[in-house]
Amino acid sequence: MIIASNVTKQFGKLKALDNVSTICNKGECIALIGPNGSGKTTLIKSILGMVVPDSGFITFKDKNILHHWQYRDEIGYMPQIGRYPDNMTIGHVLNMMKDIRNKKTSLDEDLIKSFSLQGLLNKRMRTLSGGTRQKVSAALAFLFDPAVLILDEPTAGLDPVSSEILKDKIIAEKEKGKLVLITSHILSELDDLVTRIIYMQDGKLLFHKSIDDLRADTGEDKLSKAIARVMTK
């Protein structure tokens, strides 16, 4: 569904992405793992068209995303740090998004309900705590029932209960045959979620394996141990 070929991006002297190529198919739940500053968020932003690669290209459903924008209709994106206009309320933001996407089919408001955001609709975005912001971001990402979900550190800042709710939701969406891309540092969480692992370091994509292969290769059952073994190697 998403194919990246030789994507390179440089910020000044720093090579954020160095010749990254990968293929993501639907029905998979892919974890993007790597140390801080390894280029995970840059890769995600390139897929979304927020960062324009210096060379290489990315295709979405066999169409180059450069100069295309309609493809984002099929993506739900939850940013690492959700930043919203300060003086808009949650209700305003939700309504604006619905207005912009203008989707005819039914909306998926599960997360709005399970995070009980309805009671907070009149709260201004600047007054929200980091966790509530994350909830709004998550609700927005799932709201339009997109075919691809891109979640950048989805559970960072969420309390355990909400984090469980979100995980269940991710699993449910994966079962429906959607492509889910997750970055996270909390590897123990990913154990029961992901089917494939992309490991990045210093802007390079080191490997892209299914989780079973990784377990077989390292001889570890737990993802956290397996990755630790890869990192120390």
Partner 1 sequence: MKKIVKYVITDILRNKIVLVYTLFLLAASFSVFSLEDNSSKGLLSLLNIILIVVPLVSIIFATIYVYNSAEFIELLVSQPLKRKTIWLSLFTGLATSLSIAFFIGAGIPVLIYQANMVGLTMILTGVLLSIIFVAIAMLATVKTRDKAKGIGAAIMLWLYFSLLFDGFVLFLLFQFADYPMEKPMIAVSAFNPIDLSRILILLQLDVSAMMGYTGAVFKDFFGTYIGIAFSFSALFLWIALPVWYATRKFNTKDL
Catalog residues that contact partner 1 under the rule CB under 8 A.
11, 45, 48-52, 69-73, 75, 77, 79, 83-88, 93, 96-97, 99-101
By C-beta, is 34 or 53 nearer to partner 1? 53
Q: 130-143 and 90-101 helices cross at what angle (nearest 10)?
A: 20
Beta strands (DSSP E) in the chain are: 2-11, 14-24, 29-33, 55-60, 63-64, 75-78, 148-152, 179-183, 196-201, 204-210
Output the CA–CA distances (angstroms, integers) from residue 129 to 107, 123, 133, 158, 179, in the order listed.
25, 11, 6, 10, 29
By C-beta, is 76 or 189 nearer to partner 1? 76
Rounded Cα gap, residues 136 and 130, in angstroms: 10
Minimum Å distance from CB 212 to partner 1? 32
Minimum Å distance from CB 175 to partner 1? 25
Q: Is 19 helix (H, G, I), strand (E, B) or coil?
A: strand
By C-beta, is 99 or 221 nearer to partner 1? 99
Minimum Å distance from CB 188 to partner 1? 29
Return phi, psi of residue 49, to 5°. Answer: 80, 10
By C-beta, is 141 or 187 nearer to partner 1? 141
Question: 3-state DSSP: the chain helix, strand, coil percent, rounded to 5?
Answer: 40, 25, 35
By C-beta, is 179 or 190 nearer to partner 1? 179
Minimum Å distance from CB 228 to partner 1? 33
Minimum Å distance from CB 70 to partner 1? 6
